[in-house]
Structure formats: structure tokens, C-alpha cells
Structure 1
Amino acid sequence: MRSSSSAQRQTELSDVFYLILRRMRFPLLLVIGVYTFCTAGLALIPGTDPLTGRPSPPLTIFDAFYVVSFTSTTIGFGEVPHPYNALQRMWMTLTIYTSVAAWSYSLVNVLALLQDKGFQNAVKIARFTRRVNQIRTPFYIVCGIGETGRMVCHGLDHLGLRFIAIELNDARLQELRMDEFGVDPPTVVADAKDPLLLQQAGLMNSNCKGVVALTDDDPTNQAIAVNVRLLAPRVPVLARIRDVETETHIGVFGGDLVINPFEQFAESLAAAITAPQRHRLRNLITGLPGQAIVPIAAPPKGHWIMCGYGRFGHMMVEELRAAGMSLSVIDERHYGEPGVDIKGTGTRSEDLKAAGIAHAVGLVAGNASDPKNLSIAVTARALNHDIYVVVRQNQLKNTPLIEAFDEDLLMVPSQIVAREFLARITTPLLNRFLRLIPQHNETECAQLYEQLSQLDPGRHPELWDLAISEQRAPALADLICGGGRFTTGHLRANPFDRGRRMSMVVLLVRRANKNIQLPDDHFVLRVGDRVLLAGSPVAKRHLELTLHDSNALHYVVTGQESRGGSLWRWLTRKNPPPIMPLPGPDDDLPPLKRTNVLYEDDSPGK
């Protein structure tokens, strides 16, 4: 990998030098020719002795080159090493005019080269590649810096992860450069579907942990995914796809995360109607950690009105009808197509009345224009004050207008994609746990929601992955490898008072190709297990102490404080400490019905 990076840097430098030599070939040859001609002529002309007036030997080649050099640069040190005769002065006059003309011609070509777009791009790419190769920590390649891309970049920066930004629109990159980040990211104005550019952006680097495809064009996102799959199969791709047809094709290339915000929101709304507790639980664990929990009223069952029948409208209609809702669709452009009931925009009261606004329980304003959606929502509320209104927001700059209207549910595609991608990046096991939620009924989902919502009261809990390994949990790995026994109950034990449980829940344990969902406190962990945890920030910090500090781990396991140093731990590494039962769990958290069942995974390689 290191040799590959070195070869790449040499390629970029050679491209710059090649452009310089190609554009400056004739000017350089002209300057060299003028210097050679003037130096040779001055070295051949005999001099004159200033004292006797007799001919003297001509200047040496070095002296002649020295005189031509400072004369050509108009420095003019004088006649050295002795005064010249008339023939030498005539030659020096010729040297002045020819060398100045050659230099002037060369400088004009240099200025033209510096203004050449191709040369500027080559220099930018070389500088970009050099900055990428200087990164020594894990990073992500973000292709497309629109609203969603900027949110993902800020999320990565908040998590302490480096990223590389690629965008074809220079204005968007200029806005990104004005934002504040912990470390200035390498950026480049280029087409992200270019395979060579992806390699220059560090795709083949071992520190590259993923590629995020967020361009405005679905075929471009598809091309990025294909390029990554062929060039670096180990690197995951997180792509936004709005066209279902494109999503089908992109799925051929492996288990990448492909998000269609329209489809995902439609499925989420339908699930909120049929299974509101399950919907609440999903929103709780996929929300941004630390943000306040905003209560969402459950969408009602009954007659709904859909305004707009584009890609988003098609998916909403399909999901709502599959959930058993009756539906009236209003659209002017697609009127006449199957499924569209009323020709209109929905901004007029006549359109909404014809759609049954008087007895409707919900309305979705799903057009691509924010002012149009707000106009529909205001008109609907004026006709039916109790109607449940769902508004699609397309641009974040319209947030003040959206906030001024008291909508029941807001659909922001950029936030949906950004939240899903950041959740996948920070907690890869979360996606597996989300797939297991449908196995729980509404009562169990409500019970789990109450427990998780109290981990950090009023705020979305922290979710993180833990790998039981020498790198992530060195003290725990040493204990288990030495024959010690460590349970999920020990994970939750407070390292300062083992009789109390921290505000933390073990959601999932991934062992080989099996998922252990919601294990109880007696489940024994092994080296190689991956654990999905939810808890408060304080619990997360305390757990790090248990996993890394052998003395704290010894106290959690045995109940006895230990102050042994590294030498003592090395001498006793083959004698694991005796396990003392943990005191019963306190009543800070409500009880939860747990299901300790092993679920076979369909794809063992993941």
C-alpha cells in the first residue's frame, strides 16, 4: 500500500512537470540557445590589454558564462575582469537585447501557463493528493456536497473522523470551506465518478473506511458504487438513491447501504400508523445522541389526502394503501395517470374539498416546492383544524418558514439520509438491531422505549459498538484469554460502586454469524464478540475505564480493590481472579422482558 501511494504521488508530480515541460519547451530551448550563443561568442573574441594596448587572450568559458548571466538579468556589474574592447562591447550589446528578449518571451509563456485551466487543475490535483496521503487516521470520502453532504461532513467532524470532499460545483465547495471544522478537510472540484480521481482521493488507502455517494444524480451515485466495488471491494459504499430502478441495479454490487429517503419515510409513516410504539422506538434509537426527544403524535387511521404524485407521492400512496388507508390523490401534472383522483395543486380550497378534506384525518404535502407545500398545509388547516399534516421540506434554508407552521410531522430528505449514514458509520450493529425490532409486539416495544428513554432522561441516548478485542478492550481481553469470566452484567456495573448498574442497556451481541438480542445480565462474553450498547454519556465514559484499567476491571469482577502494577498483572495473568456474584440490580430502571434467542444470519460474511 505504501508503494502504491508513493507511485501515485510520483504520477501526480510527473503530470505537473510534463505540462510545464510541454508548454515551456520552446521558451526554455530559446533561453538555452541564446545563452550558449552569447557565451560562445564572448569566449571567442580576443581581449585588449588596458596597459599596453596589445591583444590579450579571450575570456574563459566560465568567465564568459558569468558575464552573460549577470548581463542577461540586467544587473550589470560592469566590464570584468578588465575593460572590453570595441568588438567585445558590440557583442555585449547584442547579448543584452537578445537575452532580454528571450527572457521576456519566456516570462510571458510562464504567465500564460499559470493561467491555463489544465495546469491549474493539475496543480490542484497534485496538492489534493499530497494532503490525502498525509492523513494517517481513518477517513471517509464524501462525494457530493449539497445539503445532505454538508450535514454528513459536520457529523463526521463532530465524531472526530476525517473526511475528503469531492464536488463538481465549485460554489458548494466554497461554502464548505467557510464552515468550521476541527481539521480542514482536503477538497477538490471534480467529477466523483472518475475512477482515477477516487484513487487519488485515497480509495486504495488502508485508512479509507467508506465512500459516501450523495451527488444529485442517481447514475453518478451508481457509477461511484460500481467503481468502488471493482477497485476496492473491502470499502463499503453508502449511497443515496431516489430511483427504485437504480437501487435495484446498485444492489447487485454487494451489501452496501443504499438509502432512498422517499421510500424510507413512506415506510416509516405507514409503520407509525399500524405500529406506533415500534415507530417511536425506532426514532428514539436512530436520533442524534444528546438531542432532546421531541414527542410525535401517532398518525391517525382513516382517509388521507396526498398532494403531489411524483416519486415521493408514488411511494407514499403505495405504503398508505398497503396500511389499509383510503386515499385521494391531487396532482395537476400527472392527472390522467392511474391513481390520481383530482386535477389540481392542492393550494385551492376547491381541490381539497373535492378530495374530502371535511372527513379526512391526514394530509401529505409532498411537492418539490417548499412554498407550495406550506400553502397546501395552511389551506388544509383552515378547512379542517384537526387534520394531521405531513409537510415535505426540500431545502434547509426554508426552516424558519416551516417552523412558523405547526405541522404534525416533517419530512426532510437530507436529514433522513444524513442520520442513517451517520448511524451506520458510528454504530454498524444498529442496522442489524433495527431489523430485529419487528419481532417484538407493541407492548414490548413500548417497554423497551420507556427503558431507553430513561437512560439519558429527555434526550436521545448514546449508541455505540464495542468489540471485545485487544485493541478496543485490552484489560477485558486479557482477563478472558486468561480464563476469566465476564458477563453483560459486569459491563453494566459501575466501576466505582459495583452494586449499582450504570444507565446502560446491552441491545445486541454479535457472535460469529449469530445475533443475541437483548441478553440478560448472566450472558457470558467472549473475545471476538461485538456488542451494541445504549446509555448515557457518563455510562460510556465509565465503561471505558472498566475495559482499559485492569484495577477497575478487577474491582468489578471480584469486588476487591487492587492496586497491582503491570509486573504483578503479568505474573498473575494465568491465574484469573475469583468471580464474585454481583449484587442484585437496583430499581433505577424498569424491568424489561428479554428474549435470549440466537438468530441465524442470512449472510455469514457480513
Structure 2
Amino acid sequence: MRRRITSQRQTVVSDVFYLILRRMRFPLLLLIGAYTVCVSGLAMIPGTDPVTGQISEPISLFDAFYVVSYTSTTIGFGEIPNPYNVMQRMWMTLTIYITVAAWSYSLVNLIALLQDKGFQNAAKLARFTRLVNQIRAPFYIVCGIGETGRMVCHGLDHLGLRFVAIELNASRLQELRMDEFGVDPPTVQADAKDPVILAQAGLTNPNCKGVVALTDDDATNQAIAVGVRLLAPRVPVLARIRDIETETHIGVFAGDIVINPFEQFAESLASAITSPERYRLRNLITGLPGQPIVPVESPPKGHWILCGYGRFGRMMAEELRAVGMSLAVIDERHFGEPGVDIKGSGTNSEDLLSAGISHAVGLVVGNASDPKNLSIAVTARALKHDLYVVVRQNVMKNTPLVEAFDTSLLMVPSQIVAREFLARITTPLLNRFLRLIPQHNEAECVQIYKKLAELDPGRYPEIWDLAISMTRAPALTPVIEIGGEVTVAHLCA
């Protein structure tokens, strides 16, 4: 299967060439036939000597071809090598009509071919494949160029990494092409779950270091993961999944990195309530290197209100209740289901008062509509000014509105996924380190945070992997082989 796809990728340019020949076959044959008849006829008609007026030899084939060539293009240099007689001029008149008609027909067909969507797509795919094959540096394939995809692309460019973009939506792809990058990335409008497209995007290229699946459809992301696992098992997949069931299915293919932004944020908020210093440390480590550190206010313990019981709301409610928080859930659509306490939207004060906002310490607004979320947040703040408000932002274009409200904590799914993926790309071993954080108490996390923050004050520090081997660390390898303990302090000494 992989050999067949690779062969198809190598013949994309040839397919375009044969497509031109197939569509232009009759016009080309018509031109060849018209030239053959006109040149042959002119070369057989006897001429007239301009001095004696006697019949002379016909002009040569080369001269006839030369005359027909400039005549058919309506240039008209004149009669060579001698003035023509009546028969030659009659033939040239016929030649003019035949060749001009043949050229007109051919040009019309050529213009129609250039405007044909199928030919344009084939030509774009050929150019895309050529640009991908010219990449000589490590690169990633980004499937889906929505808000998260563009963030990942800019993050990769900021880190000096090349990438290839696949997007089915033409307007999204055009927006990406308008963005400024260090090197213009190869882009193609296509379905990323098509294995042939993945192969043409460089999946089997040794320089391909990973595939980032960020389409809007979980099933498509799953199909991409399956295709990559079968065609290039060595290539890791970083996929965004919003549905828990899809995440379970995708987990069958071990080695993939699957991020559910709703689940991850819910776990992070719960961790911030119970272990705020661990939360600050994780936030510092997973931040984009060099970017300003965003200060985060620790959420309080007590009674919370949750507005919206969709996919995000369910995970948020589960995590808050798991850490012992008192919770009241407001939702109109899912009222009657276990876990939903009040029927309503939360946009009016009656719903919030019924949920106990008078003694609440925090509010989570998790609907899929930014205007609705901000409306609930404004109403809640009017009822209680010191309320800790968590707002889910779905569209980046609404950032000015969200910033004007001054939320306590902002949940942006696209930023969560982009930051996590970029952290995993730059430091593949980071996940192992993050699993060690719960082993440290709050005081130890404070000390680690201070040490890391001092590396680049006010900005997220740069984190990298270090491989210990005989070639890179010949002095340490014998120590490790005999069971000696080597720490980071030894490496930094």
C-alpha cells in the first residue's frame, strides 16, 4: 500500500502533463493537419519569375513553412522569395482562413482547460507535491487550519520548524497564506483523511516528524490517526478530540498524543483549586518559550455555579465535585438529567439567585456561544462583585469583548490545544516530567517555580531534551552503567 501511494505521489507532475495532452489532443491534431496541408500545398504550387514572367520552381518546404507560420499568426511579413502569382495568392488566402480558425479553436480549448477546476486542482497538487519534496529539514503535517491550527502553525514557525498545511476550507487556507512566516509553507486544499493526500504531504518522508490532526470533526481526526498509524508507524500523531468515546477509540493506537481541551481544562481548574502551586508550575512549564507569563489568580474553595451542561460542562461538573466543591448546575436544554439542578440559561438574575450566588465563590460559564457566556458573566458580576468568574471563549475574534470584561480565568480551547501540542513537539519527554509534578508538595512546587522563573524573568522559560549517550556524554555513561546516580545538578555543574 505504501509503495503504491509513493508511486502516485511521484507521478503527480506527469499526470498534469498527460491531462494537458489528453484535453488538447484534438486541437493539436487539428493544428498539425492544417499546417501540413497548407505548407504542402504552397510548396507544390509553381511560382513566377519576376524578371522574365516565366514559370519557376515552387518555393522550398522550409520557405513554405516559414510563410505559413507568420501568416497564420496574422503577422504578415510579405511574399518571399518573390512576389506570388494568382494561384499562390489564392492558396495563401485559403491558408489564412484555415490556420486562423485552427489557432482560434485551439486557444479557446486551452483557455477552457486552464479555467477547468479539475486541471487547476491537479496543477496545484503538483506544485504542492514539488514544494514538499524540496523540504530538506524536519517538518510537521498540520491537518485542519482553524483557530487552533493557525496557532500551531505560527508556534512552529516561531520555533524555527517547517510545516505542511492541509485544509478543506478554501477561505481558511487563504487566510493562512496571507499570514507572514519565515518560510512560505506548502499548502493544499484537500481532505486530510485521504491517505493519498497524506502521502503527497510527505508522510513517508524521513524528515516528517509528526502529524497534527486539528480538523473540526473528531471522526476525521480519528481517520487521520488510523491512516498515519498504518502508512507510517514511526510518525507520531497529535490529535484533538472533543468526544470521550472517540478518544477511547483513538487510544487503541498506542503512541499517539490525544488532547481533549475540555477534559484538560477541567482537570487543571480542579488542580488549581486544590493545589494552586502545582497548577502554576505546570502552566509555567507548558507555556510557549519567550512569551510573557500570564499571571493566574488561584480559584477559591467553596460553592460554585456552572452554566451550561454540554461536553465541557459535564467534565467541569465531574471534576469540581470530585475535589469536594459544592456545585449548582444551570441548564435549560439538559434539565431533568442527573446533575442539572436549575432549569434556565443563567442570563437572568433569578436563575443565578436560585443557584446560590449570594454565597458562591466561583462561576463557570461554559456555553458554545461567546455572547451568551459574557451576558451570564456580566449579570453574575453585577450580583456579586468579588465572584471568581471562569469564561469559555469559543471564537478568537471575540477577544476584545472578553478582555473588556476582565475575567478571572479564561478558557480558550484553541489555546489549550496549541500550547500543549507545541510543548510536546519541542520537548517530547515533557509529559513524563509533568507526571512527576503530583509527587511534589506545594512547598516544593514553589521552589521549583522560582528557580525556573529566574531563568527568564517575566517570560516562559525555554525547555529542551538532553540525550545521555556515549557519544554525547562519554564521562557519564560509565557512571550510569555501574548504577551511579546522575542528577540535573551534576549536568549543570
TM value normalised by structure 2: 0.93
- Displacement of 1:435: 1.3
Contact 1:156 1:162 in 2 (8 A): yes
Contact 2:426 2:464 in 1 (8 A): yes
Aligned to 1:443: 443
Paired residues for 1:314-333 under 5 Å: 314-333=314-333
Matched, 1:49 2:17: no
* Equivalent residue in structure 2 for 1:519, among 463, 476, 487: 487
Q: Distance in 2 between matches of 1:352 and 1:80?
A: 97
The residue type paired with residue 30 of structure 2 is: L
Superposed CA deviations along residues 156-208 of structure 1, whole A, max 9, x for unmatched, are 11111111112122222222222221111112222212211111111111111
The residue type paired with residue 385 of structure 1 is: H
Helix, strand or coil at the partner of 2:328: strand
Helix, strand or coil at the partner of 2:359: coil
Contact 1:332 1:343 in 2 (8 A): yes
Contact 1:271 1:279 in 2 (8 A): yes
Aligned to 2:141: 141
Matched, 1:157 2:157: yes
Contact 2:9 2:196 in 1 (8 A): no
Aligned to 1:291: 291
Helix, strand or coil at the partner of 2:455: coil
Aligned to 1:68: 68
Helix, strand or coil at the partner of 1:385: coil
Name the one with the larger helix percent: 2
Q: Distance in 2 between matches of 1:374 and 1:149?
A: 25
Q: Distance in 2 between matches of 1:520 and 1:45?
A: 95
Q: Distance in 1 between matches of 2:284 and 2:171?
A: 36
Q: C-alpha root-mean-square deviation of aligned residues, in Å? A: 2.5
The residue type paired with residue 248 of structure 2 is: T
Paired residues for 1:146-185 under 5 Å: 146-185=146-185
Q: Distance in 2 between matches of 1:7 and 1:222?
A: 25
Q: Distance in 2 between matches of 1:406 and 1:55?
A: 100
Q: Distance in 1 between matches of 2:93 and 2:294?
A: 85
- Displacement of 1:266: 0.5
Q: Distance in 2 between matches of 1:181 and 1:417?
A: 21
Contact 1:5 1:133 in 2 (8 A): no
Q: Distance in 1 between matches of 2:162 and 2:406?
A: 38
Q: Distance in 2 between matches of 1:291 and 1:58?
A: 82
Aligned to 1:23: 23
Matched, 1:373 2:373: yes
Contact 1:132 1:186 in 2 (8 A): yes
Helix, strand or coil at the partner of 1:252: coil
Contact 1:9 1:130 in 2 (8 A): no
- Displacement of 1:138: 0.9
Q: Distance in 2 between matches of 1:151 and 1:337?
A: 37
- Displacement of 1:464: 1.0
Aligned to 1:433: 433
Paired residues for 1:555-594 under 5 Å: none
The residue type paired with residue 379 of structure 2 is: T
Counterparts in 2 of 1:52 and 1:292: CA distance versus 1, 3 Å:
closer
Q: Distance in 2 between matches of 1:42 and 1:226?
A: 66
Q: Distance in 1 between matches of 2:406 and 2:73?
A: 74
Matched, 1:465 2:465: yes
The residue type paired with residue 257 of structure 1 is: I
Q: Distance in 1 between matches of 2:32 and 2:421?
A: 58
Contact 1:292 1:459 in 2 (8 A): yes
Q: Larger relative contact order (C-alpha < 8 A, sep ≥ 6)?
A: 2
Counterparts in 2 of 1:9 and 1:326: CA distance versus 1, 3 Å:
closer
Matched, 1:116 2:116: yes
Matched, 1:211 2:211: yes
Runs of 4 or more above 6 Å deviation: 3-6
Paired residues for 1:82-93 under 5 Å: 82-93=82-93
Contact 1:132 1:201 in 2 (8 A): yes
Counterparts in 2 of 1:46 and 1:240: CA distance versus 1, 3 Å:
same
- Displacement of 1:487: 11
Q: Distance in 1 between matches of 2:488 and 2:417?
A: 33
Matched, 1:202 2:202: yes
Aligned to 1:221: 221
Counterparts in 2 of 1:4 and 1:162: CA distance versus 1, 3 Å:
farther
Aligned to 1:255: 255
Superposed CA deviations along residues 534-575 of structure 1, whole A, max 9, x for unmatched, are xxxxxxxxx8xxxxxxxxxxxxxxxxxxxxxxxxxxxxxxxx
Counterparts in 2 of 1:196 and 1:70: CA distance versus 1, 3 Å:
same
Q: Distance in 2 between matches of 1:485 and 1:435?
A: 25
- Displacement of 1:336: 2.3
Contact 1:266 1:315 in 2 (8 A): yes
- Displacement of 1:406: 2.6
Aligned to 2:411: 411
Contact 1:238 1:256 in 2 (8 A): yes
Moved more, 405-414 or 9-18: 9-18
The residue type paired with residue 383 of structure 2 is: L
The residue type paired with residue 189 of structure 1 is: Q
Counterparts in 2 of 1:318 and 1:487: CA distance versus 1, 3 Å:
farther
Matched, 1:354 2:354: yes
Superposed CA deviations along residues 232-285 of structure 1, whole A, max 9, x for unmatched, are 111111111111111111111221111110000011111122222222221121
Aligned to 1:34: 34
Q: Distance in 2 between matches of 1:348 and 1:338?
A: 23
- Displacement of 1:469: 5.6
- Displacement of 1:289: 2.4
Q: Distance in 2 between matches of 1:5 and 1:81?
A: 58
Unaligned runs of 5+ in 1: 489-510, 526-542, 544-581, 583-606
- Displacement of 1:363: 1.0
Q: Distance in 1 between matches of 2:310 and 2:39?
A: 77
Q: Distance in 2 between matches of 1:168 and 1:6?
A: 22
Aligned residues: 489
Contact 1:143 1:212 in 2 (8 A): yes
- Displacement of 1:332: 1.3
Contact 2:469 2:477 in 1 (8 A): no
Identity of aligned residues (%): 79
Q: Distance in 2 between matches of 1:453 and 1:419?
A: 18
Paired residues for 1:481-520 under 5 Å: 484=475, 519=487
